[in-house]
Structure 1
Amino acid sequence: MVVTVTNTMYRNESTTPGQMDAPVIVAASRTPIGTAGRALAGHDAAELASLVLANLRRRVPSVSLREVVLGNCTGPGGDLARVAALRAHLGVEVPALTVDRQCGSGLAAIALAVDMVRLHPGLVLAGGVESASTAPWRFWPPEEGAEPVRYERAPFAPADVGDPDMGPAADALAAEYGISRARQDVYAARSHARAVEAGQAGLFGDELMPVGEVHRDERPRPGMSERRLARFPPAFDAGGTVTAGNSCGINDGAAAVAVLDAATHTRLNIPGLRVLVTATAGVDPTLPGIGLVPAVQEAVKNAGLELDDIDVIEFNEAFAGQILACCDALGVDPERICPQGGALALGHPWGASGAVLLVRLYTQLVRQGRGRFGLAAIAVGGGQGVAMLVERCL
């Protein structure tokens, strides 16, 4: 299969680790991730985002706030970021922008923030939010004499190009790359086990912003073993290998980071993650899950690194088979992915998930000191991928 890099949001061929003029992430926060219709169902997207934004603002109070950028997929429309910023009482003078790159929206929003502070120094709060529980119903205009037709999602691609739902596309990708059902269940079981262990050890605590009485992620399941997962029937195709057990959930949640220009970061002299490279890519829309592969390859190349140099890798685990196909294509040991559990266990709040990856990198690299370099990447419906490579700095 041929993949084509279509755009690099911040590309500098001279970029090397330690670049001192690169923007820096100096704070990161997220809500717990809830299962749709359950723990966070009473909180809409703007409210979830506002809680995280207010928390971040309290952590960086001494710098003028220039902008808010949030990703979102299925909210009420309009400028959700502006509504959230106002609900967070960030000031009527602070502008806000909402972006939609589907599942990559949260990471795309952070990449835009990086570009913003390079051009106009200051502080930008960026991330993403999704409330599948409160997403409005949408309808196509009716044809004459017919009833309106409700749709669950906007098109990812034109029908004549190929516009599969993500589940069938994950089945097709697993088949294309020869990913067995057994491998998928082993990987999913490991994600749950890691997330449960990390939660019990309190490793998520510093990044979580409680929502009411909800203080922890709702989805991770203790005892989600390979044997238990093997009982799940195929979810999309009678002969397929993708099941509800080796797929992510449908979830609610918000995540964001605080991005500073390099000079301000130097003046404040606080720990953070220097953003070395961000990259985006396009692939065949019928196999969208592979989209993170060329984005990762471009990011690593432009940073002057090898994948073996990366200490912590966070890929969005939409489907176990999808992540395993990406690992095989990249030549990466799946054991290295999401060392404290990923979206298979934690959940996948679409517009927020890319930002969740950066929050997880911030916790592991900055708060927990687990290495120097981190890589986040996510595949996108319609055949795209977004990646970001960061370096811990003190």
Structure 2
Amino acid sequence: MREVVICSPLRTPVGRMGGALAPVSAHSLATSVLEALRARTGIDPAAIDGVVAAQGYPTMEAPAIGRVAALDAGFPVTTTGYQLDRRCGSGLQAVLNAAMEVQTGVADAVIALGVESMSNAPLYTVEGRRGVAGAGLMLHDALARGRETVGGRRFPTPEGNVGSAELLRAGYGVSREAQDAFALRSHRMAVAAQQSGAFDAELVPVEVPARRGTVTVDRDEHPRADTTLEALAALRPILGRADAEATVTAGNSSGQNDAAAACIVTTQARAAELGLAPMLRLVSWAVAGNDPLRFGVAPVPAADRALARAGIRFADLDVIELNEAFAVQVLACLADWGLDADDARLNPRGSGISIGHPIAATGIRMLTTLAHELPALDGELALQTMCIGGGQALAAVFARV
């Protein structure tokens, strides 16, 4: 099969839930990042065969959002597009789907897009189509409901992802202090990257409607420079009322966020023809499944498989990007791998706890960051992996070009 390279990864800033990007729909975020990709690369839009888009909380305002966003961003009607959902791994899956199209010769250049506006996740009903009976309609919160139903009927997760994280805490004996310390590390890494300008090259400013004109958002909103161990320790565990030993808090968990990210997936030869400068080469990838109640450690088998397929070891890696769904989940994975929480290769610029976790955008956000980290750190090989609610994980090995 043909070798695949990643070109021009870009992302919007990551907004907090209900924060600076809340007035902007997922559709608009997706369109903005595609427009920026066109502008920065100068690529002829007719050269793009299709847009593979990831979104975890869609509405029918932009069905098959890859196609709709492409059309609205000025791509021709010959540019195809669709939408996928593998929950927290959706963005990376979009890259991998695009890669498989290119590897097999189905396409020559495909854009992978990930977008999420958790601030605008829908409230929905499944009861009103045949009329309203009784006292009224039940509206479900898509965010909460998705976490409860993701394991299906046979593997219920009534306490959502937080309950699963607490099971890992008990099973791995991870203390509250260790979780808070890791959360603080994440924020310090992200804040340092912000202050040094390390994120500047990967960011696409977003124009947000305001009362008087527009406001430009050009900075991640989630990292907290004022976070301390004392402040983290003061937060109450989310499940504290039901479990006196609970330790998972809003402070040592990932955020609920808004963002979009995109990249061009193609071959070396086609990149040269289009005037693109590849940043990464896809080496290998793997997916794994496990018990939905222990989904946080699914990156262990996924990463092990991806590394084995590439014929490399953890010792060969220069960067390890492991999404921080929860601090306890990261620490459990590290324990299985025999890695230290202070390993300098791990999330050198922060991750989900500090930057945020805009579900379907996260995978390409991580890819964008590691594409810029590798040359800055003079590294050659990187692992990207994340757990996925419902008991899955994705992992991919990338090499610097």
The normalised TM-score by structure 2 is 0.89
In structure 2, what is the equivalent of residue 64 of structure 1? 47
2:219 aligned counterpart, secondary structure? coil
Q: 2: CA distance between counterparts of 1:313 and 1:110? A: 18
Contact kept in structure 1, 2:186 and 2:350, CA below 8 Å: yes
Structure-to-structure mapping, 1:85-124, within 5 angstroms = 85-120=70-105, 121-124=107-110
2:291 aligned counterpart, secondary structure? coil
Contact kept in structure 2, 1:54 and 1:90, CA below 8 Å: no
Contact kept in structure 2, 1:107 and 1:127, CA below 8 Å: no
Indicate whether 1:248 and 2:254 are aligned: yes
Cα deviation for residue 173 of structure 1 reads: 1.4
Aligned pair partner of 2:182 in 180, 184, 187: 187
The one-letter code matched in structure 2 to 1:227 is E
Contact kept in structure 1, 2:157 and 2:163, CA below 8 Å: no
Cα deviation for residue 98 of structure 1 reads: 0.4
The normalised TM-score by structure 1 is 0.90
User: Mean alpha-carbon deviation: is it higher for 229-238 or for 350-359?
Assistant: 229-238
In structure 1, what is the equivalent of residue 234 of structure 2? 231
In structure 2, what is the equivalent of residue 175 of structure 1? 170
Contact kept in structure 2, 1:71 and 1:106, CA below 8 Å: yes
The one-letter code matched in structure 2 to 1:293 is V
1:286 aligned counterpart, secondary structure? helix
2:261 aligned counterpart, secondary structure? strand
The one-letter code matched in structure 2 to 1:95 is T
In structure 1, what is the equivalent of residue 195 of structure 2? 200
The one-letter code matched in structure 2 to 1:61 is I
RMSD (Å) for aligned C-alpha atoms = 1.8
In structure 2, what is the equivalent of residue 291 of structure 1? 298
2:68 aligned counterpart, secondary structure? helix
1:133 aligned counterpart, secondary structure? helix
Deviations 1:113-135 (A, max 9, x none): 11011122421110310001122
Indicate whether 1:272 and 2:292 are aligned: no
Structure-to-structure mapping, 1:1-394, within 5 angstroms = 21-58=2-39, 59=41, 61=43, 64-77=47-60, 78-120=63-105, 121-141=107-127, 145=134, 147-152=136-141, 153-154=145-146, 155-164=149-158, 165-212=160-207, 213-238=216-241, 239-265=245-271, 270-335=277-342, 336-366=345-375, 368-393=376-401
1:127 aligned counterpart, secondary structure? strand
Contact kept in structure 1, 2:7 and 2:276, CA below 8 Å: no
The one-letter code matched in structure 1 to 2:393 is G
Contact kept in structure 2, 1:56 and 1:125, CA below 8 Å: no
Q: 1: CA distance between counterparts of 2:247 and 2:234? A: 12
Structure 1: state its 5+ residue gaps: 1-11, 13-20
1:69 aligned counterpart, secondary structure? strand
Cα deviation for residue 112 of structure 1 reads: 0.2
Cα deviation for residue 146 of structure 1 reads: 5.7
Contact kept in structure 2, 1:168 and 1:237, CA below 8 Å: no
Q: 1:243 to 1:144 in 2, by over 3 A?
A: same
In structure 1, what is the equivalent of residue 210 of structure 2? none
Q: How many residues align?
A: 373
1:334 aligned counterpart, secondary structure? coil
Q: 1:89 to 1:159 in 2, by over 3 A?
A: same
1:83 aligned counterpart, secondary structure? helix
2:151 aligned counterpart, secondary structure? coil
The one-letter code matched in structure 1 to 2:10 is S
The one-letter code matched in structure 1 to 2:196 is A
